[in-house]
Amino acid sequence: MKIDFANLQLQYQAYKKEIDNNIHNVLNKSNYILGEEVQILEQELQKFTGAKHAITCSSGTDALLLALMAIDIQPGDEVITTPFTWISTGEMIALLKATPVFVDIEPDTFNIDANLIENAITKKTKAIMPVSLYGQPSDMDAIQIIADKYNLQVIIDGAQSFGSTFNGITDSNLGDISTTSFFPSKPLGCFGDGGAVFTNNEEYANKIKLLRVHGQNKRYYHKFIGIGGRLDTLQAAILLAKLINFKKELKNRQKVADQYTDKLSNIFQTPVIKKNRTSVWAQYTLRVNDRDNFQLKLKEEGIPTSVFYPIPLHRQECFNYLNYKQDNFPVSNEASKEVLSIPINPFLTHEEIDYIILKVQEICNN
């Protein structure tokens, strides 16, 4: 058997009619930049998340940049975040010449450990940026209490978690600003790059709308230094077709996750989803001791796997100037050696799920 990690081709075939229709509508109108599909998508995203404002943009990375610019992060400001994440999280803080301050993660959820945040706060701290890794929100109650106590802003990097919930509220409707990515392999993905910023704060929303078009408030009048950060109308049209099916897809992802956990939790540390949260299962991640060997054997059986992430941010060359030591953040370091994500997507068949479980068990028992 040959398993596909993301099954994007099957997904396209399943919604081909709606997607092709939506694309052709855009082609027929040639409204490629901020066309009406972008506005319709933003309204649909607002409805879906409950957030007052949804502002689409060019990527999950640019969504983070826009969020940080909206809260006016300045050179020398400090933003507390996790080192166990994709580079964009720390990179966008550093791009604004602010300082990413890393705080270690919880060993079970892989998200920032809220108990360690207070120790990292200084006079320069402006914001906390938790990442909802693999699709599950961080401990937003604990984080919000700290943010309120020290008057800090909270920006959620929800690139992997669009549709997840904390105490029944979507991840996009928490914190001061929340972001997501529509990268093709994300739970809700487009056919290229895309992202969105969510907020209930009118002032931030208005600023982000300007920032994504070079700070322009009237043609050729630029109120702020901004970026060219719009979502293409074509991508919005594709997302509109996919959004209709998204809830159903999330249910399917959950079913796959349940089967994996049921059959694999006696041999591995399987993902821990806290009681007050839901995950959208961007990844299903096991902790494996002999990871390289395990990964190779699964590959030989036609099962692709991925490692998110093999090198935490404090050990990345680009962050040498922060002067962290290799052995700082032991929980992140340990996780980076052990995590292995196995295929999870809404289009896996029963036979494929059974096959993956069987092979994982066999390799583990040999």
Ligand X SMILES: Cc1ncc(COP(=O)(O)O)c(C=O)c1O
State which residue, 195 or 343, has the beta carbon closest to ligand X.
195
Give the helix ranges, DSSP H, for the chain.
Answer: 8-14, 16-29, 36-49, 60-70, 88-95, 117-120, 140-150, 202-211, 233-243, 246-264, 291-300, 330-338, 350-365
- Using the rule CB under 6 A, is 283 a contact of ligand X? no
- CA 354/CA 82 separation, integer angstroms: 35
**End-to-end distance of the chain based on CA atoms, in angstroms?**
20
CB of 233 to ligand X, least distance (A): 18
Asked whether 68 and 155 are in contact (CB, 8 A), the reply is yes
Q: Which is nearer to ligand X, 188 or 264 (CB)?
A: 188
Find the binder of ligand X among 131, 234, 286, 363 (CB under 6 A).
131
Taking the complex as a whole, how short is the minimal distance between the CB of residue 115 and ligand X, in angstroms? 21
Residue 181 makes contact with ligand X by CB under 6 A: yes
Selected binder of ligand X within 23, 42, 60, 155 (CB under 6 A) = 60
Q: Does 99 bind ligand X (CB under 6 A)?
A: no
Structure tokens at 316: 């990345």
Q: Are 277 and 137 in contact (CB under 8 A)?
A: yes
Nearer to ligand X, 59 or 136 (CB): 59
Q: Are 130 and 99 in contact (CB under 8 A)?
A: no
Judged by CB under 6 A, which of 59, 109, 170, 336 binds ligand X? Answer: 59
- CB 258 to ligand X: min, Å: 23
Choice from 159, 174, 208, 211 touching ligand X (CB under 6 A) = 159
Nearer to ligand X, 88 or 285 (CB): 88
Q: Is 323 exposed, middle or buried (0-12, 13-18, 19+ CB in 10 A)?
A: exposed
Q: Where on the chain is the footprint of ligand X (CB under 6 A)? A: 59-61, 85-86, 88-89, 131, 157, 159-160, 181, 183, 193, 195
